[in-house]
A and B are shown apart, each in its own frame.
Chain A
Amino acid sequence: MNIALIIIFAFLVLSFYSGIRAQKGKDMNMEQWTVGGRGFGSIFIFLLVAGEIYTTFTFLGGSGWAYSKGAPSYYVLSYISLAYVISYWLLPPIWKYAKEHKLVSQSDFFVSKYNSPILGILVAAVGVIAIIPYLVLQFKGLGIIVSEASYGSISPAAAIWIGVIAVTIYVMISGIHGSAWTAAIKDIMIFFVVVFLGLYLPFHYYGGIQPMFEAVQASNPSFLTFPEEGLSISWYISTVLVTVFGFYMWPHTFGSVFSAKNANVFRKNTIMLPLYTLMLLFVFFVGFTAILQVPGLKGADGDLSLLRLSLQTFDPWVVGIIGAAGLLTALVPGSMLLMTGATLLAKNVYKVMAPHTSDAQIARIAKWLVPVISLISLYFAMSGGDTLVTLLLMGYSLVTQLFPALLFSLPAKPWVNKYGAFAGILCGVSTVAYVTVFQVTIATVFPNWPAVVKDLNIGVVALLVNLVVMFTVTFVTRNLFALNRHTANTEGTPTL
């Protein structure tokens, strides 16, 4: 075992230790285990939200896409900033309603708003299904980190197993209190590591950031701007919109909203959090630097670019620190995702089916669902060849289907009813599943349409299907019930 791996495993043990300490400090019931009470202040919520958002995707996927796709990777900067803008208006009413009704999960919110336990089951199911590709992303990232830091002595498959076992144990022994403290360590580490790499590597290899971009531009003149077709401006705008709408629809992100102290925390966060996204610039700089320094990484191997360049540049102990920061960026959100998925299945699916189950039993079931979800994700991590960004976009297309039903539930009189919301979500998710399984794009269905339409993110199509079905079903069912009521009222009345 080399020094890089020793450092990485030392950080893993430290994370386990902080998780155990956190659990000992609190005798946790179900609500505490899920949202940590509602007592986190502004700084801690900042860390918690940032800890969930900055994942393996940011660390390896962001640099991987800059390496293999170029300009289209800029979409990440835009969507995160614009999601915070929307949060200014979206989150305060959600928080107030959740606090008033003592809700602890996203599914609870839909059940309460639409008065429909069945809709709650559907929302929980969509959340868990969307979490799977996001978890696969974390596990693949962990596998890349452990495998690369071992200088080839641990195979990628064995490394993914190590990652899955580590995350599962971490969740089983901690819960949110462990996550929150590890998130604080992670955010400090990832900040310094990413800024260091993003500045040191371009200066080391090219003498600066602009010379690095000029070298990339000279080798591939169209790489730093959006192409005319494919991942074009049309793709960029539609992808940003789909991901902005889906940003707070992830069950774990939605759940973290409930742990704020007051509604104003979200408004204050909209000032600082967009600036936090500028950290991604440094990740892009690493990816662009790697293009000419570690050439030849094709397809999903582009995600290896940050670590391959680090291995080529630094001593093993530096690689160990970089790997440890990467480990934490997978461990923190990975644990949050696993915990959320298990809680959703136990509380919002199992308990609805078996209402007499006690809270203690539900908490036990949730904890034992953690390894089950881990193993399902492990299967997909081993079998799929997608890039980290592709996996994230797949998850986003799914959770974004919850956005219209959420948005239309916020006015005092919801714009759609529970039948419309259910049908819309179901059709939207089915559309995403169909295009994912059969690899359909607008271009394959309508090859002669203009590029501006063909390049649209397929999530937009699913959203349109969702909206049309939602309003149609609402209109039909409202009129049907009105007609039934009218018929019931006029039965027995003599007609002319």
Chain B
Amino acid sequence: ISRMKARDWLGVLPFIGMLGGIPFVNRVEPYLLGMPFVLFWIVLWVVLTSVIMAFLNKIDPATKEDSQ
């Protein structure tokens, strides 16, 4: 800024995981890291969001331009 770059679509992944995935994981068993599975799934995607955004920061040329 309205054209989406290919790398910008990475930002859609957390939405797919955290929102679209919930109907398929809405259960208690198995407990993972001591948490009900549905809660573990959300926590997993919070961490993955951070990883995805770190990767995006690394490959996006705008981050270098704006630092200067």
Q: Is the CB of B66 within 8 A of A263?
A: yes
Residues of B within 8 A of A89 (CB): 1, 8, 11
Q: Is the CB of B49 within 8 A of A84?
A: yes
| CA A77 to CA B26, docked complex, whole Å | 16
* 1/0 contact string of A269-283 vs chain B (CB within 8 Å): 011101101100100
Residue of B46, B63, B66 touching A81 (CB-CB under 8 A): B46
From 34 to 68 in chain B, residues with beta carbon under 8 angstroms from any chain A beta carbon are: 34-36, 38-39, 42-43, 45-47, 49-50, 53-54, 56-57, 60, 62-63, 66-67
A213-B34 CB under 8 A given contacts A237-B19, A240-B18, A264-B66? yes
Residues of A within 8 A of B15 (CB): 82, 85
Least Cβ–Cβ distance between A207 and chain B, in angstroms:
11
| CA A82 to CA B52, docked complex, whole Å | 12
Residue of B8, B36, B42 touching A224 (CB-CB under 8 A): B36
Q: Is the interface of B mostly helix, strand, loop or mixed?
A: helix
A410-B50 CB under 8 A given contacts A85-B15, A281-B43? no
Chain B interface residue count, Cβ-Cβ cutoff 8 angstroms: 35
Cβ-based interface call for A155 (8 A): no
Q: Is the CB of B22 within 8 A of A233?
A: yes
Q: Is the CB of A74 within 8 A of B46?
A: no
Cβ-based interface call for A295 (8 A): no
Residues of B within 8 A of A240 (CB): 18-19
Residues of A near any B CB (own CB < 8 A): 71, 74, 77-78, 81-82, 84-86, 88-89, 92-93, 208-210, 213-214, 217, 224-226, 233, 236-237, 240-241, 262-264, 267-268, 270-272, 274-275, 277-278, 281, 284, 410-411
- In the assembled complex, 26 residue pairs joining A and B whose CB atoms fall closer than 8 Å, in A order, are A71-B36, A71-B39, A78-B19, A85-B11, A88-B53, A214-B31, A224-B36, A224-B38, A225-B28, A226-B26, A233-B22, A233-B23, A262-B66, A264-B63, A267-B66, A268-B57, A270-B57, A271-B50, A271-B54, A271-B57, A272-B50, A274-B49, A274-B50, A274-B53, A278-B43, A278-B46
| CA A9 to CA B34, docked complex, whole Å | 38
Least Cβ–Cβ distance between A311 and chain B, in angstroms:
26
| CA A473 to CA B15, docked complex, whole Å | 31
Residues of B within 8 A of A263 (CB): 66
Residues of A within 8 A of B45 (CB): 78, 81
Q: Is the CB of A82 within 8 A of B53?
A: no
Q: Is the CB of B56 within 8 A of A411?
A: no
